[in-house]
Chain A
Amino acid sequence: MTESIYQQIGGEAAVNAAVDVFYRKVLSDDSISGFFDDTDMDAQREKQKAFLTMVFGGPNEYSGKDLRTAHAKLVADGLNGSHFDAVAGHLQATLSELGVPENIAGEIMSIAASTKGDVLNQ
């Protein structure tokens, strides 16, 4: 059996290494920071870890329906394709900053892309 990409990049430790880098990027991007501007930064950070675990192909309990529910209120507040692309861009930049090999980064980006319909409730 081959290792999953989650195992290849180091599992939970990779999520922990990525979360602050990624979170800092989305909070600094005025076009999307409003969605993440929670006064409870620790709770928000846990959700970012859930997001990263999922796109890294790690163990998670989210179905497509859960992703729809989690983002439904955001879609009602105007979440659209350009916001999605911005998040994907920050994800890509995070991966290259952390030196994730290109083939693995490609797989991660395609997992993220596959969730677009659910995240945007389309």
Chain B
Amino acid sequence: MPSVEFSNRVYEAEPSESVLDTLLRNGENPSYSCRKGTCFNCMMRTPDGGVPEKAQAGLRETLRVEGYFLSCLCVPEGDIRVVQAEDAAIYQRAVIQSRELLAPDICRVILEPATPLYYHAGQFLNLRRSDGLCRSYSLASVPNLDRYLEFHIKRLPGGQMSNWAFNEMKVGENVDIQGPNGACFYLPGKPEQNLLLIGSGTGLAPLVAIARDALNDGHSGQVRLYHGSREPAGLYHRDSLFDLAQTYPNFSYTGCLSGENPPLGYASGRADDVALGENKDLKDWRVYLCGNPPMVHAAKKRAFLAGADIEDIHADPFELKELRAEQRSAERQKSVA
């Protein structure tokens, strides 16, 4: 079995065990959070090279070359020496510029990064509070159009970060950001291809960004956005989306309400049902699905059966985003106390 060397201590890995799990099993205290390759908190570096490709997927080229990798995804193929990545390699500073309510339980937060961030509309960042609490949020801004970074944060019952954002966060305060992450974004090319965008809740954030990015890029195919919620209040951004439809004749927006008796001007039903009911033949379409995981998974299958190629279906189920609430060290102190 390969061995893992960390802080001058050497541990034997179990078969198909990740570097992170080997260290945790042996009582080490590396930082980590999601354990799924999303949050990048568990990033480590090895001076030896030879990290499996999978453990470096999604890392910037510069980090890959320097031997950084995600320890939760790294099942070592041979003996490996590892060190925790320096914070500066992962995070950068950003300042909170504003916060405003978009809906009773959704707020818009604007950040300004210390150095400009290169990203694609539709990707997501990890936001880390000064005490280490970390969560993922999709970007609602578009690099070429917006100078700031915009997020839509939904208040979840008991959600530590979201309640903090609603109640305590102050303009001018710093947070750390890591990213961009994720592969659900618009790529230029094939401007005549029709786009179908389906989202629930704050799944609208990346979809608005993708739609604006595509339209601004001169996309000539249809761009059809369906947004779903239970209550009318959850369909935020309605006015600006109707404005967008005025500006771009190939863009359409449909607000969908799954609750009883929707008022005039709304479609009745879940966003995926309405969207796939109105667009039955998706051959050669590009499809973007964001938000509630059961909706995203079901819609992915239905879009595929309606003729879209799997490679043209981009899905971002918002399930990986509830990261571990506390740093490992905090947890340990509790268990010792």
Contacts and interface: CB of A to CB of B under 8 A. Distances in A.
Contacts, number: 20
A41 B305 contact: no
Contacts of B305: 24, 27-28
A16 to B, nearest CB: 9
A69 B310 CA distance: 27
B309 interface: yes
A122 interface: no
A45 B297 CA distance: 14
Contacts of A28: 305
A26 to B, nearest CB: 11
A37 B298 CA distance: 10
Contacts of B36: none
Contacts of A41: 300-301, 304, 310
A39 B307 CA distance: 18
Interface residues of A, number: 10
A20 interface: yes
A42 interface: yes
Interface in B282-301: 297, 300-301
Given A27-B304, A41-B304, A20 B297 contact: no
Contact of A39 (B297, B304, B309): B297
A93 to B, nearest CB: 16
Interface in A25-50: 27-28, 37, 39, 41-42, 45
A29 to B, nearest CB: 11
A51 to B, nearest CB: 15
A104 B297 CA distance: 36
Contact of A20 (B300, B301, B310): B310
A45 B301 contact: no
Contacts of A37: 301
A69 to B, nearest CB: 16
A10 B15 CA distance: 38
A20 B301 CA distance: 12
Contacts of A23: 304, 310
Contacts of B307: 24
Given A41-B310, A42-B310, A45-B310, A24 B297 contact: no
A23 B304 CA distance: 9
Nearest to A42: B310
B316 to A, nearest CB: 13
A6 B297 CA distance: 33
A28 B301 CA distance: 10
A24 B300 CA distance: 12
Contacts of A24: 304-305, 307
Nearest to B313: A41
Contacts of B301: 27, 37, 41
Interface string A1-34: 0000000000000000000100110011000000
19 contacts: A20-B304, A20-B309, A20-B310, A23-B304, A24-B304, A24-B305, A24-B307, A27-B301, A27-B304, A27-B305, A28-B305, A37-B301, A39-B297, A41-B300, A41-B301, A41-B304, A41-B310, A42-B310, A45-B310
Interface of A: 20, 23-24, 27-28, 37, 39, 41-42, 45
Interface of B: 297, 300-301, 304-305, 307, 309-310
Closest 8 CB pairs of A and B: A39-B297, A20-B309, A45-B310, A41-B300, A28-B305, A20-B310, A27-B305, A24-B305
Given A41-B304, A42-B310, 8 more contacts: A20-B304, A20-B310, A23-B310, A24-B304, A24-B305, A28-B305, A41-B301, A41-B310
